[in-house]
């Protein structure tokens, strides 16, 4: 008897959701179809906010204003210049995107709460521009915006319009999903942990922030275009700060990091708003926007009990989504392996000062291809600072760093990485909600080329296939291959650190730099790590390891550089270093092989 494979629940539910979405405009009463259209329009905007706020972590209160830019652009072009709404669609998208580009270039370098404040500032400014520009109809607004026509049929009924809005939302959400599972999407997700990871794997955090900001504004512009031709009149009210806050509520309640969570949030909040607007004034005996109070309470409750929103609660009931099907991979090109023993990294009289503090002072050493070099020293010796100078995270105050004969002193972290330096982090920086495979694929960012647009259209499938095959191969190499589809957050720390090594290996580095890889590991985990590093050295990889755990270091490295007080104290084999009187003194007279600090 042939075993029949049951369709996964996820596929069945997706098919059911599509079917329901297609049938609803036909079967609902007309006033509810109008509500459905509003949900679909809001969902289109919130899809962009999910990418910007949920995925990348940039909070915008001003996206309703971008919706206004799209809406007023199409309204002006169709009513004043007589354009067809289909021609004014690209114009509305371009004007919104350009507005976002200008605002983004000015504000997206801001950190912390300054950026949300800036979004409030320009959100309010644009709102007042809409209300105080006579050509835009001021607070009275613009009327007689033409209806859309498709093949001679005017979309004046909510039922017909619902299908157009459904198409726009469907395409937006699908594009966003494609983006999130792409090379660019992984780099966008990495931005949530700060700029360090994205940059360490060859991406430009600022360029990514600008791109996702413009894309999310574009989706708001699309929502504005739909809104204008659905309502057929405009005034500034739906594009003010209050609306901007409501869209954020939708993203937060639905599930800020999930595309379909945003759609769920748009559905819940828009329906609830309609219901409360009808119910609350009757209950309270007076008019007013009381629904905002209820939304506020709802957001507080969501943040209290379901921090990632409602969607992840539903997702928990389903098995994880299988990775998308991709064509058979073509192997990625490999770097030439440096000649064993040849100088690979040369640190020449490097100093790094923070104001008056000399964190690193005239340190020089060489690292030869095929060796493991340990960089050790007591707390505050300057090891991490030197590590950051070599990897391009912080520029040197003076001195030179040469890699494979090229000066890399002035290069940023992304460019240093592209020269063949791969790294791990002192504090593990993985994306816990993604699989091991996805995390490892992030390491291959610099080996791909597909940008935002190709990813949105899912035209990067061949490149993805190659990256995925490489990531799987590196997971196999470090012994994590069998768990490739497990979530990274569920691994114990030791395996998370090994996953970071695999992620670095996906970049095909010629030098692997490890920043305190044994910190927090148990005895057995340290032994596994040491065995892995020995094996990698045997395969021709060069390793620089900054470590506190002397037992691990002494049994692993070929040579050591010892730092203390920012200066190089000694250099040599573990035996030479162990006998060095200055080193013993730096370790307060103790044998450096004896455990130090908490890590040993
Ligand atoms: N960004 C910074 N701004 C100012 N001072 C800094 C900065 N980074 C490091 N320092 C200082 O530089 C000195 C060297 O610090 P560093 O972190 O490089 O030492 P370390 O050898 O890595 O120590 P540990 O083993 O404890 O991590 C310390 O005094 C530290 O406070």
CATH of the domain at 411: 3.40.50.300
Whole-number Å distance, alpha carbon 205 to ligand 1 midpoint, is 24
Tell me, yes or no, whether 547 lies in a domain.
Answer: yes
Q: Which residues of 455-476 are buried (b: 16+ CB within 10 A; e: fewer)?
A: bbebebbebbbbbbbbbbbbbe
CB 524 within 8 A of CB 532: no
Whether 123 and 187 map to the same domain: the answer is yes
Q: Please tell me the predicted confidence (pLDDT) of residue 594.
A: 52
Whether 196 and 302 map to the same domain: the answer is yes
Q: Please tell me the predicted confidence (pLDDT) of residue 588.
A: 52
Residue whose CA is closest, atom 28 of ligand 1? Answer: 380
Q: Looking at ligand 1, which atom is closest to the CA of residue 546?
A: 22
Whether 497 and 517 map to the same domain: the answer is no
Out of 380, 515, 553, 564, mutate this one to test ligand 1's pocket (max ligand atoms within 8 Å of CB): namely 380
149 C-beta neighbours (distance < 10 Å), count: 14
Distance CA 600, CA 597 (A): 6
Please provide the DSSP assignment of 497-515 as one string.
Answer: HHHHHHHHHTT--SEEEEE
Tell which residue, 54, 266, 86, has the closest CA to residue 179.
54
What is the side-by-side order of every strand in the sheet holding 343-354? 357-368, 343-354, 398-403, 406-407
Where a domain ends, among 297, 312, 327?
Answer: 312
How many domains is the chain partitioned into structurally?
3
Residue whose CA is closest, atom 31 of ligand 1? Answer: 380
Tell me, yes or no, whether 25 lies in a domain.
Answer: no
Out of 360, 361, 375, 383, mutate this one to test ligand 1's pocket (max ligand atoms within 8 Å of CB): namely 383
CA angle, 478 then 481 then 486, to 5°: 120
Distance CA 96, CA 77 (A): 14
Q: Please tell me the predicted confidence (pLDDT) of residue 7.
A: 61
Whole-number Å distance, alpha carbon 89 to ligand 1 midpoint, is 53
Tell me, yes or no, whether 317 lies in a domain.
Answer: no
Whole-number Å distance, alpha carbon 236 to ligand 1 midpoint, is 52
| Ligand 1 lined by 377 (C-beta under 6 Å) | yes
Whether 112 and 71 map to the same domain: the answer is yes
Whether 285 and 176 map to the same domain: the answer is yes
Q: Is 509 left (phi over 0), alpha (psi -120 to 50) or beta?
A: beta
What lies within 8 Å, CB to CB, of 115 at 6+ separation is 58, 59, 107, 108
Whether 225 and 301 map to the same domain: the answer is yes
CB 467 within 8 A of CB 503: no
pTM of the model: 0.91
Whole-number Å distance, alpha carbon 566 to ligand 1 midpoint, is 9
Whole-number Å distance, alpha carbon 380 to ligand 1 midpoint, is 5
Tell me, yes or no, whether 266 lies in a domain.
Answer: yes
Where a domain ends, among 457, 484, 508?
Answer: 508
| Ligand 1 lined by 47 (C-beta under 6 Å) | no
Where a domain ends, among 246, 279, 312?
Answer: 312
Q: What residues form DSSP beta bridges with 234?
A: 142
| Ligand 1 lined by 379 (C-beta under 6 Å) | yes
| Ligand 1 lined by 574 (C-beta under 6 Å) | no
Whether 499 and 514 map to the same domain: the answer is no
Residue whose CA is closest, atom 11 of ligand 1? Answer: 359
Out of 351, 357, 388, mutate this one to test ligand 1's pocket (max ligand atoms within 8 Å of CB): namely 357
| Ligand 1 lined by 381 (C-beta under 6 Å) | yes
Whether 283 and 405 map to the same domain: the answer is no
| Ligand 1 lined by 395 (C-beta under 6 Å) | no
Tell me, yes or no, whether 26 lies in a domain.
Answer: no
CB 511 within 8 A of CB 344: yes
Whole-number Å distance, alpha carbon 548 to ligand 1 midpoint, is 14
| Ligand 1 lined by 447 (C-beta under 6 Å) | no
Helical residues (DSSP H) of 133-204, grouped into ranges: 158-180, 183-191, 195-200
CB 75 within 8 A of CB 148: no
Between strands 398-403 and 343-354, the pairing is: antiparallel
Whether 477 and 532 map to the same domain: the answer is no
Whether 445 and 530 map to the same domain: the answer is no
Whether 255 and 353 map to the same domain: the answer is no
| Ligand 1 lined by 345 (C-beta under 6 Å) | no
| Ligand 1 lined by 354 (C-beta under 6 Å) | yes
Residue-level length of the chain: 600
Range of the domain at 600: 337-420+510-600
Q: Looking at ligand 1, which atom is closest to the CA of residue 563?
A: 21
Tell me, yes or no, whether 166 lies in a domain.
Answer: yes
Tell me, yes or no, whether 27 lies in a domain.
Answer: no
Residue whose CA is closest, atom 25 of ligand 1? Answer: 379
Distance CA 470, CA 306 (A): 36
Give kind and range of the element (H or E) at residue 365: strand 357-368
199 C-beta neighbours (distance < 10 Å), count: 25
Q: Please tell me the predicted confidence (pLDDT) of residue 549.
A: 87
CB 392 within 8 A of CB 420: no
| Ligand 1 lined by 382 (C-beta under 6 Å) | yes
Whether 67 and 82 map to the same domain: the answer is yes
Q: Please tell me the predicted confidence (pLDDT) of residue 66.
A: 98
Each residue's pLDDT, cut to its tens digit, for the chain (600 residues) gives 444 455 678 888 889 999 999 999 999 999 999 999 999 999 999 999 999 999 999 999 999 999 999 999 999 999 999 999 999 999 999 999 999 999 999 999 888 889 999 999 999 999 999 999 999 999 888 999 999 999 888 999 999 999 999 999 999 999 999 999 999 999 999 998 889 999 999 999 999 999 999 999 999 999 999 999 999 999 999 999 999 999 999 998 888 888 999 999 999 999 999 999 888 888 888 887 788 888 888 888 888 888 888 888 888 777 767 778 888 888 898 999 899 999 999 999 999 999 999 999 999 999 999 999 999 998 899 999 999 999 999 999 999 999 999 999 999 999 999 999 999 999 999 999 899 999 999 999 999 999 999 999 999 999 999 999 999 999 999 999 999 999 999 999 999 999 999 999 999 999 999 999 998 889 999 999 999 999 999 999 999 999 988 889 999 999 999 999 999 999 999 999 988 988 888 775 555 555 444 333
Q: Which residues of 136-146 are buried (b: 16+ CB within 10 A; e: fewer)?
A: bbeeebbeebb
Tell me, yes or no, whether 197 lies in a domain.
Answer: yes
CATH classification of the domain holding 79:
1.10.3470
């Amino acid at each position: 008897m042939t075993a029949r494979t049951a369709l996964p629940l996820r596929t069945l539910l997706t098919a059911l959701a599509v079917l329901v979405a297609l049938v609803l405009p036909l079967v609902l009463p007309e006033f509810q179809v109008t509500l459905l259209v509003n949900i679909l329009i809001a969902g289109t905007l919130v899809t962009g906010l999910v990418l910007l706020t949920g995925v990348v972590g940039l909070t915008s209160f001003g996206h309703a204003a971008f919706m206004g830019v799209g809406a007023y652009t199409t309204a002006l072009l169709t009513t004043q210049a007589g354009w067809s709404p289909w021609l004014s669609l690209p114009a509305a998208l371009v004007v919104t995107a350009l507005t976002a580009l200008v605002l983004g270039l000015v504000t997206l370098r801001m950190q912390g709460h300054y950026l949300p404040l800036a979004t409030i500032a320009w959100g309010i400014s644009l709102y007042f521009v809409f209300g105080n520009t006579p050509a835009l109809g001021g607070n009275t607004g613009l009327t007689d915006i033409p209806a859309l026509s498709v093949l001679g049929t005017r979309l004046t009924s909510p039922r017909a319009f619902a299908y157009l809005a459904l198409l726009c939302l469907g395409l937006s959400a699908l594009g966003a999903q494609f983006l999130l599972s792409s090379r660019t999407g992984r780099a966008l997700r990495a931005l949530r942990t700060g700029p360090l990871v994205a940059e360490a794997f060859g991406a430009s955090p600022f360029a990514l922030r600008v791109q996702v900001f413009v894309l999310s504004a574009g989706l708001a512009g699309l929502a504005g275009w739909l809104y204008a031709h659905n309502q057929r009149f405009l005034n500034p009210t739906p594009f003010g700060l209050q609306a901007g806050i409501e869209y954020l509520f939708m993203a937060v309640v639905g599930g800020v990091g999930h595309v379909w969570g945003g759609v769920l949030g748009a559905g819940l909040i828009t329906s609830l708003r309609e219901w409360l607007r009808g119910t609350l004034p009757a209950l309270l005996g007076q008019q007013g926007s009381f629904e905002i109070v209820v939304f506020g309470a709802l957001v507080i409750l969501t943040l209290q009990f379901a921090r990632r929103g409602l969607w992840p609660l539903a997702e928990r009931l389903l098995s994880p989504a299988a990775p998308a099907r991709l064509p058979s991979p073509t192997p990625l090109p490999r770097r030439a392996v440096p000649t064993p023993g040849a100088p690979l990294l040369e640190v020449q009289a490097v100093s790094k000062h923070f104001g008056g503090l000399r964190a690193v002072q005239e340190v020089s050493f060489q690292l030869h291809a095929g060796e493991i070099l340990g960089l050790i020293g007591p707390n505050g010796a300057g090891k991490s600072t030197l590590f950051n100078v070599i990897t391009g995270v912080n520029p040197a105050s003076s001195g030179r760093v040469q890699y494979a004969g090229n000066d890399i002193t002035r290069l940023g972290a992304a460019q240093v990485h592209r020269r063949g330096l791969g790294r791990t982090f002192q504090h593990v920086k993985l994306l816990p909600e993604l699989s091991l495979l996805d995390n490892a694929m992030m390491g291959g960012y610099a080996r791909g080329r597909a940008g935002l647009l190709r990813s949105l259209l899912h035209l990067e499938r061949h490149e993805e296939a190659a990256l995925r095959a490489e990531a799987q191969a590196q997971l196999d190499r470090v012994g994590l291959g069998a768990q490739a589809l497990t979530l990274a957050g569920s691994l114990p720390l030791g395996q998370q650190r090994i996953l970071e090594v695999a992620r670095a290996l996906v970049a095909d580095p010629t030098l692997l730099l490890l920043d305190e890889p044994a910190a927090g590991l148990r005895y057995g985990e340290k032994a596994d790590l040491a065995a892995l590093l020995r094996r990698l050295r045997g395969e021709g990889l060069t390793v620089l390891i900054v470590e506190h755990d002397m037992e691990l270091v002494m049994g692993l490295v070929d040579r050591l550089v010892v730092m203390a007080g920012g200066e190089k104290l000694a250099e040599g084999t573990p035996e030479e270093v162990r006998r060095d009187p200055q080193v013993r003194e730096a370790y307060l007279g103790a044998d450096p092989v004896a455990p130090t600090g908490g890590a040993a």
